[in-house]
Structure 1
Amino acid sequence: MTKLDDKQRDDLKGGQFAFPEQRKEPLEDATHVRNAIARFHQVKGVTDAERDDAWKRIKAAAKKYDVEVSEKSWREIGKD
């Protein structure tokens, strides 16, 4: 995965995070998008509404970086 140093992370705009208020789960490349999906349920202190918004940002970033996402909702993550 692309590792962000503190300066690079600080330079990202809020919209480049799945959770912009918390600045959690950056979405600036395909690897980070996959990681955001994998770690989605580990994000603490967010509401379901914030998760809904984050999922929309993740889906948009996945489309941009050609990452396949089979889940329709974040509630489906990890369910087979």
Structure 2
Amino acid sequence: MSELDAKERNDLSSKQFAFPKERKEPLEDASHVRNAIARFDQVKGVSDDERDEAWKRIKAAAKKFGVEVSEKSWRELGKS
């Protein structure tokens, strides 16, 4: 995965994060999208509504970068 240094991360628009208010889980490329999915349940201090919105952003980024996501909802993560 391409790692973002502090300056690169700070330069990102809030819209480029799964959780924009918290600036958690950047969605810059396919690798970051896969990481956001894998770490989704580790994000603390967010409501279910914020998770629903983050999942929409992740799904859109996954489509953009060609990442296959079989789960329809974040609630399905880890249930396979």
**TM-score category of the 2 structures, normalised to the smaller one:** over 0.9
Shift of the alpha carbon at 1:54?
0.1
Shift of the alpha carbon at 1:15?
0.7
Please say if 1:38 is aligned against 2:8: no
Please say if 1:15 is aligned against 2:15: yes
Local SS of the residue matching 1:18: strand
Shift of the alpha carbon at 1:16?
0.4
Q: Percent identity?
A: 76
**Runs (5+) with no aligned partner, structure 1:** none
> Equivalents in 1 of 2:61, 2:79: separation in Å?
22
TM-score (norm 1): 0.99
Matches within 5 A, 1:1-80: 1-80=1-80
Shift of the alpha carbon at 1:79?
0.7
Aligned Cα root-mean-square deviation (Å): 0.3
How many pairs align?
80
Local SS of the residue matching 1:63: helix
> Equivalents in 1 of 2:50, 2:7: separation in Å?
25
Local SS of the residue matching 2:78: coil
Shift of the alpha carbon at 1:72?
0.1
TM-score (norm 2): 0.99
Local SS of the residue matching 1:25: strand
Shift of the alpha carbon at 1:50?
0.1
Once the two structures are superposed, what CA deviation does each residue of 1:6-49 show, in whole Å capped at 9, x if it has no partner?
00000000110000000000000000000000000000000000
